[in-house]
Amino acid sequence: MSRRPRPTRSAVEWEFDKVSFSREYPRTVVTKLLVERAEHGGWELDRVRIGADGVRRVILRRKIIRAVRTA
């Protein structure tokens, strides 16, 4: 898994996380795992790719919220 900010054209900054699931995991299990990450980590689904080998490659994203120091 790699978490790194990726610049976008808008003023919003996103953090991305790559997750892979083996073909042995049924769709319902993958869905439950992703819902758990979304509810507790603030992630949302960005992209899903299913390879010819059956591996699901999922990219999740969440907004980076910058704290502004007030003086």
Look at residue 30 and tell me if it is in a domain.
yes
Q: By C-alpha distance, which of 39, 53, 43, 54 is closest to 18?
A: 43
Look at residue 10 and tell me if it is in a domain.
yes
Look at residue 71 and tell me if it is in a domain.
no
Domain that holds residue 15: 3-63
pLDDT digits (tens, 9 = 90+) for 11-44: 789 999 999 999 999 999 999 999 999 999 999 9
pLDDT digits (tens, 9 = 90+) for 55-67: 999 999 999 988 7
Look at residue 43 and tell me if it is in a domain.
yes
Quick check: 23 and 54 in contact, CB under 8 A? Answer: yes
Dihedral of CA 39/31/4/8: which sign? Answer: negative
Indicate the pTM of the whole model: 0.74
Sequential DSSP letters for 9-44: SSS--EEEEEEEE-TTS-HHHHHHHHHHHHHHH--E
